[in-house]
Amino acid sequence: MLKKVDSSQLTVGMFIHDLSCDWMTHPFIRNRFVITSEDEIRKILKAGIHDVVIDSSKGLDVQDAPTLEEANQATERELTELAAKPVVVTRVSLGEELSRAAQIRHQASTLVRTVMRDARLGKAIEIGQVQPVVQNITESILRNPGALVGLLRIKNKDDYTFLHSVSVCALLVAFCNSRGMDAEITRQAGLGGLLHDTGKALVPDEVLNKPAALTDEEFAIIRKHPQDGFDILRQSPEVNDIALDITLHHHERRDGSGYPNKLSGDAISELAQMAAIVDVYDAITADRCYHKGMSAAAALRKIYEWSKFHFNPQYAQEFMRCVGIYPVGTMVMLESGRLGVVIEPHETNLLAPKVNVFFHTKKNVYIKPETVDLARGVGFGGGDKIVGHESPAKWNVDPMRFLTLAG
């Protein structure tokens, strides 16, 4: 049986089923293993991992611990309470913005590739080339955040590093905008998001793209990238303090378990805390050579759980309202048995977005794409509800094909 336990309850002989953290947090070769020493428990606690999932059928048990299903149900109840809050209103439809967003995605990823190359060669970053791209990203987000953010969820292993930077920029701009932050601060935060991983230019490719778990020495190299990025960017006078702060501190955590400075609480700036949430969210939803990305909906639930310790809970909740509990591009199962892809969040109820349905699981056939507004009743384009998010791989479908095909 899978159970969720506090890390302080761990003992030798328990079987770890899930360390319940993002991949850059834990120092273990595997996610699943039997605890064989007190040293392993100390490493878990030192890594800032506050709770884990154990399998009591493969190791020692904690009798009074909730099952994983019970813990997940409690999380869902809490999220439901958060769902009836206003979200960002879009200015243009998803279909109108997608073609422009595709061009911006290509432009921005090409720019980040150039920035990384220049940094590796020791050249100063030409901010004059970067700022117009940040402006384009910002304008796209203001028109319809779901278009660019949705497209940026599609990454392959070769361009991950570059597209991750573009994603963090776009998501951080959307986050700032949803919180009503000043336009100039939002632009500067976007610049920080686009450049936040510049230090990875100095990480050897065989470490950055290693298809297996990292050694302690390789972890140490990876964890230098915030400081390396800061040192590279401060050589360019046009890089503002906000961008430098985000670059240096996007891996800090509120419980002091982050790096490079082990800052805690409000010693971490507001924007760096926001960037930390965005960075982890994008990282854990992407397929990498060493782990399979989780769905956006599942990732948001992880962010919510980790906000008890690693992130500001208020910021985590506001980020969820920004992107939606079921973000644009998420494949969902409806009560009717139909599969759909989320195309637009509802303004006040995150559990009732607009969905393009395209497949009937009970009949196992594709159906004519149709837009269903889950906030409406039967006969008014609605009359259905989400029962959960689904994996496209499970059904062997590409939900992104159906973002704009419904009439």
Q: Residue 35's pLDDT band (boundaries 50, 70, 90)?
A: very high
Beta carbons within 8 Å of 350's beta carbon, 6+ residues apart:
82, 83, 84, 85, 87, 320, 321, 324, 325, 326
Indicate if the pLDDT at residue 94 is higher than 60. Answer: yes
Residue 225 has pLDDT above 90, yes or no: yes
pLDDT at 155: 82
The H-or-E segment that residue 4 falls in is strand 2-6
The per-residue pLDDT for 381 is 53
CB 370 within 8 A of CB 382: no
Strands (E), 210-320: none
Supply the pLDDT for residue 171: 97
- DSSP string across 50-81: -EEEEETTTS---TTSPBHHHHHHHHHHHHHH
Give the DSSP letter of residue 339.
E
Range of 69-83, 144-158, 324-338, 342-356 with top mean pLDDT = 324-338
Q: Give the residue with greater pLDDT, 8 vs 292.
A: 8
Q: In angstroms, rounded to a whole number, what is the distance separating the alpha carbons of residues 83 and 72? A: 16
What DSSP assignment string belongs to 304-316? HHHTTTTS-HHHH
pTM of the model: 0.86
What's the DSSP call for residue 222? H
For 242, the enclosing helix (H) or strand (E) is helix 241-249
Say yes or no to pLDDT of 208 above 50.
yes
The predicted-structure confidence for 191-204, as pLDDT tens digits, reads as follows 999 999 999 999 99
Residues 138-160 pLDDT 10s:
999 999 999 999 889 878 777 88
**Which amino acid, residue 367?**
I
The token duo for 7 is 């890390």
Angle 270-285/183-195 helices, nearest 10 degrees?
50
Q: What is the mean pLDDT of residues 31-55?
A: 88
In the chain, the amino acid numbered 116 is M
Q: What share of the chain in percent tops pLDDT 90?
A: 59
- How many CA atoms lie less than 13 Å away from 58 in the CB half-sphere? 12
For residue 91, the model assigns a pLDDT of 79
Bond from prior residue into 204 cis (ω within 30 degrees of 0): no
3-class SS at 359? strand
Closest CA to 20 of 298, 264, 288: 298
pLDDT (tens digit per residue) in 168-195: 999 999 999 999 999 999 999 999 999 9
Residues sharing a CB contact under 8 Å with residue 35, sequence separation 6 or more, in sequence order: 10, 11, 12, 13, 14, 15, 16, 41, 59
Q: Contact at 8 Å (CB) between 134 and 317?
A: no
What pLDDT is recorded for position 219? Answer: 87
Q: Residue 379: its pLDDT value, please? A: 54
The mean pLDDT value for 93-121 works out to 94
**pLDDT value at 361 more than 70:** yes
The answer on pLDDT for 407 being more than 50 is no
